[in-house]
């Protein structure tokens, strides 16, 4: 199994899940928002080694091709991408180039090596500002920022590939807001610099690394005025990916699934549940809206349950508790973490 972006937040948890279930795991990552230190922890949790790790940018097709030459890859989990909404507004070309160009380079390399099975990391962000109510997979797609548009473009490319070439099977996972951490506290979300996402920011305020949370917008058309999202535990997210692998042989073509909890939580809900579950205060200020944000994005995630019998097992309190455990055990994230005696790299 080749995992792109395997050092990242979701990718590293996916590596543990795959190793736990007996898969041979090969990783490529450029460490743009991650660190190789994470693999010692992945291996410690799983009690197994990652097969190989390559530092490369997917757009470097020669280097990527060499990985496919060296290993017998039967399927790919493609997480590698830039994911900040505001970052994408500041640097749209970089976002399209990395996310779309990375995906086309991967597809060309897969094609050259006869690999036709892919689990793609898409996003609930593709739906854009849909208003209240649950979004099923047939809801209109209206990306509200270049990040979301880049994921939608990748989906369209993948759909075209599947239409043209019947040997391809692509499972497109539109996940909503993955957050939380591995229950061991060894793995979690440790972005470079100031976190752009809500839960890691809240955790860094709670641990004293940042002073106050800035809540972007208190004037949304929601019950408490703050924006509503569907937070899904990262462990549930990666379990869904592992279950997806069992369904790569169900038949060719592309299928799209929402991966969410199906419950909306406002920013203030997240702050309240975090404070209550973890017993810490999270001081905050309400500031103007963040450009590119929308009011309400919540999944109707019933299709994946119907198709595969899988449903998430964890809630927002579990997300907060696990994110807090990771933050307390790693107040400075992975910074300074050693590779550990059990890493072979």
Q: Which residues are catalytic?
A: 147
Q: Which helix (H) or strand (E) holds 77?
A: strand 76-78
Spatial contact of 8 and 189, defined as CB atoms under 8 Å apart = no
214 binds ligand UFG (CB under 6 A): yes
Select from 19-27, 88-96, 209-217, 254-262 the region that touches ligand UFG (CB under 6 A): 209-217
Distance between CA atoms of residues 77 and 80, nearest Å: 9
327 binds ligand UFG (CB under 6 A): no
Beta bridge partners of 3: 27, 77
Going residue by residue from 274 to 293, which x/- string records binding to ligand UFG, judged by CB under 6 A?
----------------x--x
Distance between CA atoms of residues 72 and 107, nearest Å: 16
Q: What angle do CA 34, 36, 38 make, to 5 degrees?
A: 80
Spatial contact of 225 and 267, defined as CB atoms under 8 Å apart = no
Q: Which helix (H) or strand (E) holds 172?
A: strand 169-175
Question: Which residue's CB is nearer to ligand UFG, number 103 or number 123?
Answer: 123
142 binds ligand UFG (CB under 6 A): no
Nearest to 98 by CA among 144, 153, 49: 153
Which of 99, 177, 237, 330 contacts ligand UFG by CB under 6 A? 177
Select from 15-23, 112-120, 214-222, 305-313 the region that touches ligand UFG (CB under 6 A): 214-222
Select from 16-24, 65-73, 210-218, 322-330 the region that touches ligand UFG (CB under 6 A): 210-218
Q: What angle do CA 272, 275, 280 make, to 5 degrees?
A: 155
DSSP at 125: G
215 binds ligand UFG (CB under 6 A): yes
Under rule CB under 6 A, which residues in 72-131 are in contact with ligand UFG?
83, 85, 123, 125
178 binds ligand UFG (CB under 6 A): yes
Distance between CA atoms of residues 173 and 139, nearest Å: 15
How many other C-beta atoms lie within 10 A of the C-beta of residue 252? Answer: 15
Q: Cβ of residue 343: shortest distance to ligand UFG, in angstroms?
A: 27
Among positive and negative, which fits the CA dihedral 263, 268, 271, 274? Answer: negative
Question: Which residue's CB is nearer to ligand UFG, number 51 or number 218?
Answer: 218
Select from 22-30, 195-203, 248-256, 337-345 the region that touches ligand UFG (CB under 6 A): 195-203
312 binds ligand UFG (CB under 6 A): no
Distance between CA atoms of residues 187 and 10, nearest Å: 10
216 binds ligand UFG (CB under 6 A): yes
Question: Which residue's CB is nearer to ligand UFG, number 50 or number 298?
Answer: 298
Question: Which residue's CB is nearer to ligand UFG, number 123 or number 330?
Answer: 123
Q: Interface residues with ligand UFG (CB under 6 A)?
A: 83, 85, 123, 125, 177-178, 196-198, 201, 213-216, 227, 229, 267, 290, 293
């Amino acid at each position: 199994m080749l995992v792109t972006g395997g050092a990242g937040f979701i990718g590293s948890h996916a590596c543990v899940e795959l190793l736990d279930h007996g898969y041979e795991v090969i990783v490529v990552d450029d460490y743009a928002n991650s660190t190789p230190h994470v693999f010692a922890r992945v291996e410690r949790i799983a009690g197994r080694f990652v097969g190989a790790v390559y530092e490369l940018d997917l757009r470097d097709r020669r280097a990527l091709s060499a990985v496919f030459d060296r290993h017998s890859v039967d399927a790919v989990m493609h997480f590698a991408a830039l994911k900040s909404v505001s970052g994408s507004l500041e640097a749209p070309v970089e976002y399209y180039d990395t996310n779309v160009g990375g995906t086309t380079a991967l597809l060309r390399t897969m094609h050259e090596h006869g690999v036709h099975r892919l689990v793609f990391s898409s996003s609930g962000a593709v739906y854009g500002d849909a208003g209240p109510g649950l979004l099923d997979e047939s809801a209109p797609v209206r990306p509200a920022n270049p990040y979301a548009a880049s994921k939608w473009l990748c989906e369209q490319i993948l759909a075209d590939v599947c239409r043209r070439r019947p040997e391809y099977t692509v499972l497109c996972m539109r996940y909503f807001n993955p957050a939380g951490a591995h229950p061991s506290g060894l793995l979690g979300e440790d972005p470079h610099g100031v976190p752009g996402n809500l839960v890691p920011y809240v955790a860094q305020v709670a641990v004293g690394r940042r002073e106050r949370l800035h809540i972007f917008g208190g004037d949304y058309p929601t019950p408490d005025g703050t924006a509503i999202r569907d937070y899904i535990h990262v462990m549930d997210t990666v379990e869904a990916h592992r279950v997806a692998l069992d369904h790569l042989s169900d038949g060719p073509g592309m299928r799209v699934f929402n991966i969410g909890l199906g419950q909306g939580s406002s920013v203030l809900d997240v702050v309240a549940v975090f404070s209550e579950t973890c017993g810490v205060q999270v001081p905050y200020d309400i500031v103007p809206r963040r450009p590119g944000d929308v009011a309400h994005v919540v999944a109707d995630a019933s299709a994946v349950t119907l198709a595969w019998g899988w449903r998430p097992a964890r809630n927002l309190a579990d997300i907060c508790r696990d994110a807090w455990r990771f933050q307390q055990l790693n107040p400075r994230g992975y910074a300074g973490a050693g590779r550990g005696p059990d890493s072979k790299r």
